[in-house]
Chain A
């Protein structure tokens, strides 16, 4: 019996020894995409910010990738917590129910899981590339009609760019590929190693790739809220190419570089260790040149912005050498926790459920990026300015009267909107909760709405006593189920 086993092993070595010895080379050349690449069907609710009470149904497909620990990796783009997911593998028609395990909109990464053990048979997790290649060709894969589409992608360059769904700065690999309409998490491989996932494609046949090295670090960190979150520099800056500018600050332009801080506290208003006019000379030990570049030990000359997420998480500090008041100083810059729901005109996720409040046919909505996109043709110059510049205007956020559902109660106001609210019944309005609270406190039997200066209507009066009846009548007439969504009655 022992003899038989020995013979068997010998036979295996004899017959298969040669191919096994050549495995590393063979694997590089023969990545089996159908074993690792899956198709994700996403069925989710979609919304209209112009009619925020409406909910539509939308189904779409994107790509996913089998990774270790029975997880499916994809980009967060187009995914939602309350969506339903089904996975196809190997081009088969059978679909497996999946659940969203975690989603990180900031980094544009999501993990799905499939409970059915059958799904995990004959699938192969992909190995992440330890580095990002900077030249040569890569392979891009996706499912199309039950078959794998494979294309070559030629690396164009590696740079620090912005995340697709947030302002997070990270490495982005730009490549040129013939693959049409890419950007839905197609997988990009270098042999059998994952280089990254596509995040967007352009008409000039260029694809943006979220590098696997960043994905690995982001998965380890976890998204803000659940995990540590990703580092972020919350300041604006300018290069210091102009020698006179450095000289005016008392620096020798021949020997100094650095960047100049022009604005701090963009998304977080809390005090920061940086000030406007500071010259940042070093970050995390790396010397910053006049154009804001540093020499990365692996990837060469890159923008300093990537240092925020390179090896740091939210809440950590980064040492900086700065020039302030004609003196060199060392500060520890605290990487702030970013909340994209904050800000004068917050960015919010595009497919987030729109919040609204209807009172007497008047529709109120918080002013945020998705709403502004929906209002693009009707928004005023002041609204565009607030969205783009996020200026300090003495209020944390804005509420817009977007439009009016005509009723006898709101006669004469049918065509107004969008208008930014200043106050209702003398109470300043920053949130929908403020609107609800103000309507509970009429003045002498009336509601007096005052709008911000906008070359439009400034004042509007409604009768308090009949507001509730009018609201119910409008809801019934226009077949709207609820007068509000996402308004917390307990939050003043």
Chain B
């Protein structure tokens, strides 16, 4: 009798699992994005429109969750239901480029009819099995792959480049087009497929529930702020002499090596060589790791759990005593130039055919490898500026991105990719500075000084005439495009 009951129970479980799986695949959608990328060297231009395919899945509130990179620079988005040829127009409701997640809305309510949204689960265990769903390689039919969670750790999120968050690694095959599709375990979404690593075999990466929940909570107020950071760098503290120097009584705690800019509140509360003992109740080991849900991982994961402007309780060791601090954390936007940028095309300002724009990672990526590696100054200005001081970290270096030749400027031999330090005797640290300095010519001339101390001049009247001629000749919409990122 007992055996019979067990068999019935097992059958029910199997049927339930089958139905769940069946429901899951119905909630997975195919996304086609017609995108147009900006030209970072000639910022008024865009690339030709190219289609790209990805995956997504329906979540509660008649939304579709996918990767930010699937829908970036979109001109038109189409979504397709499971085994339904009908395309539906979709649009981005929220996008988090730092965590590579986005939610889409579909105007036609018919799209969501009969679909059961998928629920987001909890962090899966290492060695547990997951099934990924998606439309790899732009195929018409949904694809399933299975594997185990091989590792859980912090990884670089390549879509934004300058952020590192918690990541699941799986041996389930993930291919282009899988991006944005769910990884499912026991009927719950335990991750969103998002990137691979060409140096590894049989390794795909999934955004874990921690990041998904954070993103969804962040947008509850109708605005996406992004993931906050504490603003310091943690170094391991195994060396006995260093521990003795810091008068530490036991073997726990990692050292705060330096504080980043611009985190003024962190700078007030935290000092270099403070020892981080505890974050949000989790003990920090001498390797800077914590034990989080059974996995050892970098302590910074706890700051990622907080929302922008929240306070995280930390215990530190300073001057031989333990202290408790509520540390406010912030989503830093001042370092946007050292990561990939989206949504807003690059700013520019043209003066007599000289086109100036912001120095950014995107600008450097557009250069070929030789040009990039030869620009030691640009790399330094882009990546090391944040270490100098608060003002430097907020500055946005401006460079000469291109020069449109015209008989009136043909004799200017200034090389491209030089950083402009002064215009009309005024220091330039942003596009706004450039725009303001343009209004103050010196004795009828615009005077330029570059970081290598080279200088150039243009007569104001001549510069204006050149610009007007160039706008017409090259179909450029305007002499400038300047955004207020603040």
Contacts and interface: CB of A to CB of B under 8 A. Distances in A.
Given A381-B380, A455-B383, A455-B387, A446 B457 contact: no
B46 interface: no
B122 interface: no
Contacts of B412: 241-242
B452 interface: yes
Interface string A398-440: 0000000000011111000000000000000000000000000
Contact of B258 (A263, A413, A453): A453
Contacts of A244: 445, 456-459, 462
Interface string A231-245: 000001011011111
A460 interface: yes
A462 B241 contact: yes
B376 A385 contact: yes
Interface string B204-238: 00000000000000000000000000000101111
B411 interface: yes
A252 interface: no
A17 B158 CA distance: 87
A458 interface: yes
A459 B273 contact: yes
B244 interface: yes
Interface in A364-411: 381-382, 384-385, 387-389, 409-411
Given A239-B413, A411-B240, A446-B245, A381 B455 contact: no
Do most interface residues of chain A lie in helix, strand or loop, or is the interface mixed?
Answer: mixed
A448 B272 CA distance: 13
Interface in B429-460: 442-443, 445, 447, 452-459
B257 A385 contact: no
A247 B457 contact: yes
A382 B452 contact: no
Nearest to A237: B454
A457 interface: yes
Nearest to B239: A412
A325 interface: no
A341 B235 CA distance: 36
Contacts of B242: 412, 460-461
B255 interface: yes
A263 B244 CA distance: 49
A453 B384 contact: yes
B443 A248 contact: yes
B377 interface: yes
Contacts of B457: 242, 244-245, 247-248
Contacts, number: 110
B323 interface: no
B92 interface: no
Contacts of B233: 458
Given A236-B452, A381-B379, A411-B240, A242 B445 contact: no
A453 to B, nearest CB: 4
A248 B446 CA distance: 9
Interface string A442-471: 000010100001110111111100000000
Do most interface residues of chain B lie in helix, strand or loop, or is the interface mixed?
Answer: mixed
Nearest to A453: B387
Interface in B344-378: 376-377
Given A410-B239, A459-B273, A461-B239, A384 B456 contact: no
Contacts of B380: 381-382, 384-385, 389
Contact of B272 (A248, A381, A388, A459): A459
A30 to B, nearest CB: 48
Contacts of B272: 458-459
A412 B380 CA distance: 28
A236 B453 contact: yes
A279 B383 CA distance: 35
B189 to A, nearest CB: 35
A319 B240 CA distance: 64
A330 interface: no
A389 B376 CA distance: 8
A461 B245 contact: yes
A329 interface: no
A410 to B, nearest CB: 7
Given A247-B459, A385-B380, A389-B376, A241 B235 contact: no
A28 interface: no
Given A248-B443, A381-B383, A262 B411 contact: no
Contacts of A125: none
A260 interface: yes
Contact of B379 (A245, A384, A459): A384
Given A242-B456, A381-B379, A412-B239, A459 B244 contact: no
A413 B239 CA distance: 8
B388 interface: yes
A244 B459 CA distance: 6
Interface of A: 236, 238-239, 241-245, 247-248, 260, 262-263, 276-277, 381-382, 384-385, 387-389, 409-413, 446, 448, 453-455, 457-463
Given A388-B377, A459-B255, 6 more contacts: A239-B413, A241-B413, A242-B413, A244-B456, A262-B454, A382-B384
12 contacts: A241-B411, A242-B413, A245-B457, A247-B457, A381-B379, A385-B377, A410-B239, A411-B239, A446-B241, A453-B258, A458-B233, A463-B244
Interface of B: 233, 235-242, 244-246, 255, 257-258, 272-273, 376-377, 379-380, 383-384, 387-388, 411-413, 442-443, 445, 447, 452-459, 462
